[in-house]
Amino acid sequence: MSTATTPAPPAGTRPMVEVRAVHKSFGALEVLRGIDLQVRTGEVAVVLGPSGSGKSTLLRTINHLEKVDSGRISVDGALVGYRRSGDKLYELREREILKQRTHIGFVFQNFNLFPHLTVLDNITEAPLAALRRPRKDVLATARALLDRVGLADKADAYPRQLSGGQQQRVAIARALALEPKLLLFDEPTSALDPELVGEVLAVIKDLARQGTTMIVVTHEIGFAREVADTVVFMDGGRIVEQGPPGQVLDHPRHERTKSFLSKVL
Amino acid sequence: MPLTSDPPLDRTAPRRTGPPADDDPAALKVVPVRHPWRWAAIVVTAVLLAQFAHGLLTNPAWEWGVFAQFFTAETVVRAVWVTLQLTVYGTVLGFALGIVLAFMRLSASPFLRAVAFGYIWAFRSIPLIVQLLFWFNLAYLYKRLDFGIPFGPGFFSFDTMGLVGAMSAAVLGLALHQAAYAAEIVRGGVLAVDGGQLEAAAALGIPRPRQLRRIVLPQAMRAILPNAANEVISLFKGTSIVSVMAIGELFYQVQVIYGRNGRVVPLLMVATAWYVLLTTVLSVLQHYVERHFAKGATR
């Protein structure tokens, strides 16, 4: 059973992400023990929780980087990784899964930029390869995105010539180049020096203001308070509680949430 | 008796040695450590080198005149060409098959993995010279080669004796041998690419063949190239083993010539000089290819 409260989506807005009864084990270790979560279109959900609570795994199941053991996930009404026909679920081919992922942007903790490609090539690679858009449009979009993350002058630099904060901003631009319906952030600032965290969070805040649907796994409580529509607190593979930041962060109802917040605040 | 000794008590006023200490560290002169033994080693090495060079120039047994006469002789140059052909075919076919084997060993299928492992095990175990003789005598084993439905009727067939001549037997042997080593080198290169790279490419929805071509292989090349260059150079010189099959490559040709005129040393030097010259060219080539794949790297 889950003690989490799932707020009903307001009338007229269908959920962008729907996670239902998801379980996932790595060997004998059950990392996700029945996750139910809804994220509405235009909503920013921030997932908090101690290390090993399953936050990152949950995020990675949403774009099928991890396969779930049971349960279902859908993004914008489409099942992730499967096709339903009657009462059977057919696993999608890799090609179809890759196509689904072009609608879901993913930003990694360690950036994972392609070190042998320039910043511009990092951003244009996926739209050219996966969407087969014309090169001219892709280049124009890429330059506009670089401008948006404040790195217009770094187009021809290689990732290793950039600071961590700059690399992560390029990674965000790279994810945005596919014009995804949903953006997933896996601890985007955890690998950064403290003074570089702000510039990355500023870019994410900017995206939030423009109504991008996002799920952000982070340890930045201040960021959660400022940007989140919903704060989700996870522990031991379960969602312990969720709700507006004012409720979860300032008046947590569960002991586990209280003790976690008292340690990180 | 104490094992440690305290500094002698100095009852007089503090004694100073040398000029008074300057407060400005930049004004102090740094005296580098002297290395007298290094100088001794340099002198000994230089004398030995000089003796060797002197011997090369003055010992008439080297027969530099004969060397000059045969170095650019038409038969020798043609033999160099055969050696180069064996190297190029062996490298291209060997690495082509090696890449396939590497990805078989990395595949999710236990069957494909086992087959690739078995191939590499077998071809690394059999000495190249034994293998070459096997291919050379293939016609003894299989008289005809049929192409058609497996275990069923054949559509067309070849006479093995005519199909596998000495040269193709040599290329086949070198390439199959090379493939086993190339497979491991390529696999090592692919494994050296950070897993996050594949994950990022997958998260961006980049199609699988393009992930390999555009993301994995260019990065793997950095780990592959130094080893691959080793293999190409070692294959280039290893072609001399083919002389057992009476193919007119460089080493065989040189043996034929000194068998006729008895000038063993200068003719061995002819072969040596060609091997050294072409290995140098390959090494220079390696430098430029490596530089190409070092884009965006800091070291």
Which element (helix H / strand E) includes A240?
Answer: strand A238-243
Averaged pLDDT, B31-44: 93
Averaged pLDDT, A94-102: 92
- In this prediction, residue A8 carries a pLDDT of 47
Whether residue B164 lies inside any domain: the answer is yes
Percent of chain B with pLDDT over 90: 64
Chain B contact for A158 (CB, 8 A cutoff): yes
| CB nearest B205 (choices: A114, A116, A126) | A126
The answer on pLDDT for A46 being more than 50 is: yes
- In this prediction, residue B138 carries a pLDDT of 76
Whether residue B64 lies inside any domain: the answer is no
Whether residue B175 lies inside any domain: the answer is yes
Q: pLDDT confidence of B167, banded at 50, 70, 90?
A: confident
Whether residue B15 lies inside any domain: the answer is no
The answer on pLDDT for A106 being more than 60 is: yes
The domain tally of chain B equals: 1
- In this prediction, residue A9 carries a pLDDT of 46
Domain of residue B126 covers 81-141+160-250
Whether residue B260 lies inside any domain: the answer is no
- In this prediction, residue B20 carries a pLDDT of 55
Q: pLDDT confidence of A13, banded at 50, 70, 90?
A: low
Note whether A108 contacts B199, CB cutoff 8 Å.
yes
Assess: ipTM above 0.90: no
| CB nearest A130 (choices: B204, B219, B297) | B204
Percent of chain A with pLDDT over 70: 95
Percent of chain A with pLDDT over 90: 82
The answer on pLDDT for A247 being more than 50 is: yes
Nearest CA in chain A to B206: A130
Whether residue B48 lies inside any domain: the answer is no
Tens-place pLDDT, residues A113-132: 999 999 999 999 999 998 88
Backbone angles phi, psi at A52, to 5 degrees: 80, 10
- In this prediction, residue A12 carries a pLDDT of 46
Give the residue carrying structure tokens 């080493």: B251
The answer on pLDDT for B9 being more than 70 is: no
Nearest CA in chain A to B217: A116
Contacts (Cβ under 8 Å, ≥6 apart) of A211? A42
Q: pLDDT confidence of A86, banded at 50, 70, 90?
A: confident
Residues of A in contact with B220 (CB under 8 A): none
**Among B235, B230, B214, CA closest to B92:** B235
Q: pLDDT confidence of A62, banded at 50, 70, 90?
A: very high
Averaged pLDDT, A182-201: 92
Q: pLDDT confidence of B296, banded at 50, 70, 90?
A: confident
The answer on pLDDT for A167 being more than 50 is: yes
Tens-place pLDDT, residues B176-214: 999 999 999 999 999 999 999 999 999 999 999 999 999
The answer on pLDDT for A48 being more than 70 is: yes
Q: Name the minimum distance, in Å, from the CA of B213 to any CA of chain A.
A: 11
| CB nearest A98 (choices: B194, B202, B215) | B202
Contacts (Cβ under 8 Å, ≥6 apart) of B69? none
Averaged pLDDT, B68-96: 93
Note whether B296 contacts A108, CB cutoff 8 Å.
no
Residues of A in contact with B189 (CB under 8 A): none
Chain A contact for B213 (CB, 8 A cutoff): no
Lowest-confidence pick of A47-56, A204-213, A254-263, B151-160: B151-160
Residues of B in contact with A113 (CB under 8 A): 200
| CB nearest A116 (choices: B196, B207, B219) | B219
Q: pLDDT confidence of A39, banded at 50, 70, 90?
A: very high
Q: pLDDT confidence of B157, banded at 50, 70, 90?
A: low
Contacts (Cβ under 8 Å, ≥6 apart) of A124? A135, A138, A139, A142, A177
Chain A contact for B148 (CB, 8 A cutoff): no
Taking the C-alpha atoms of residue B298 and residue A158, their distance in angstroms, rounded to an integer, is: 10
Residues of B in contact with A126 (CB under 8 A): 204-206
Tens-place pLDDT, residues A131-157: 888 899 999 999 999 999 999 999 999
Which element (helix H / strand E) includes A216?
Answer: strand A213-217
Going from the C-alpha of B286 to that of each of B97, B290, B291, B298, the distances in angstroms are 21, 6, 8, 19
- In this prediction, residue A1 carries a pLDDT of 40
Whether residue B197 lies inside any domain: the answer is yes
CB–CB contacts below 8 A, A to B: 76
User: What DSSP string describes A71-129?
Assistant: EEEEETTEESSEEEETTEEEEPPHHHHHHHHTTEEEE-TT----TTS-HHHHHHHHHHH
Note whether A95 contacts B207, CB cutoff 8 Å.
yes
- In this prediction, residue A66 carries a pLDDT of 93
Lowest-confidence pick of B4-13, B65-74, B82-91: B4-13
Percent of chain B with pLDDT over 70: 86
- For residues B33 and B20, the model is more confident at B33
How far is the first Cα of chain A from the last one, in angstroms, to the nearest whole number? 29
Chain A contact for B293 (CB, 8 A cutoff): yes
The answer on pLDDT for A173 being more than 50 is: yes
Tens-place pLDDT, residues B222-243: 999 999 999 999 999 989 998 8
CB A172: neighbour CB atoms within 10 A? 24
- In this prediction, residue B13 carries a pLDDT of 52
Chain B contact for A94 (CB, 8 A cutoff): yes
Averaged pLDDT, B164-178: 87
Q: pLDDT confidence of A14, banded at 50, 70, 90?
A: confident
Averaged pLDDT, A86-97: 90
Note whether A108 contacts B197, CB cutoff 8 Å.
no
Q: pLDDT confidence of A2, banded at 50, 70, 90?
A: very low
Q: Name the minimum distance, in Å, from the CA of B61 to any CA of chain A.
A: 54
Chain B contact for A127 (CB, 8 A cutoff): no
Whether residue B89 lies inside any domain: the answer is yes
Domain CATH number, residue B215: 1.10.3720.10
Lowest-confidence pick of A134-143, A248-257, B16-25: B16-25
**Among A29, B160, B231, A2, CA closest to A19:** A2
Most confident residue range from A101-105, A260-264, B1-5, B26-30: A101-105
Mean pLDDT value across chain A? 90
Note whether A63 contacts B210, CB cutoff 8 Å.
no
